[in-house]
Amino acid sequence: MSTWKKIDVENWTRREHFEYYTKILKVQYNMTANIKVEKLLDYCHQNGKKFYASLIYLVSKTVNSIDNFKMFQDKEGNLCIWEHVVPNYTIFHDDDKTFSDCWTDYDEDFETFYQNITSDMEKYKDVKGIKARKNQPENFYCVSAAPWTTFTSFNSRIVGGGLQFFPVITMGKYERAGEHVLLPVNLNVIHAVCDGYHAGLFFETLQQEIDALG
């Protein structure tokens, strides 16, 4: 499990925002943007890499570069930031059309992470039920794909589950649009820790990471 550090909320620039959106108006919001992935597709084809696994790495690297996506409250209610978070992703079972959750520890090195996640995907691909891999660590975020639909909006969040600060990221079906191949990516967050600026930073950084790898 990752280590963490406490936030000095009293002197935090977002203190009033945090208190307002946790005590008065418990708002969650989501935003969908099209990400250009033609360079990543070319990279995967040329290097024999799986698109989904590579994309999870890039999303994870992006999430881990932004502190607001790594926040949580400890048992005493202190607001904290994980040193890093790991992806909790879905594996689809084509035979019965169900899915299972899996997780892989994050490594900033692409090749190390790629080998780990593809190994986990292979190991747990036939394990049915909600949790294919047990003992999911607390420092996680959620990422999944719905590759059957090119959507323009998507919303997924725990109903009545309280304030869970981890982001939920969903990727749709990519399609060609002129010279680009566009992938819809939805980001779902809690306003207490993430503003529109952080959502915009996520999409901007993700595009930069995709272009750099691709």
Helix, strand, coil shares, percent, the chain, to 5 = 35, 25, 40
Say how many C-beta atoms besides its own lie within 10 A of residue 42's C-beta: 12
Catalytic site includes residue 84 = no
CA angle 125, 126, 130 (to 5 degrees): 85
Strands 140-145, 168-171: pairing kind:
parallel
Nearest to 87 by CA among 68, 110, 61, 123: 61
d(CA 212, CA 214): 6
Contacts of 163 (CB under 8 A, 6+ apart): 22, 26, 73, 190, 192
Q: 69, 141 in Cβ contact below 8 A?
A: yes
Of the candidates 45, 84, 93, 191, the residue annotated as catalytic is 191
Q: Residue 62: what residue type?
A: T
Q: What is the CA radius of gyration of the chain?
A: 17
Task: Retrieve residue 19's tokens.
Answer: 């208190």
Active-site positions read 191
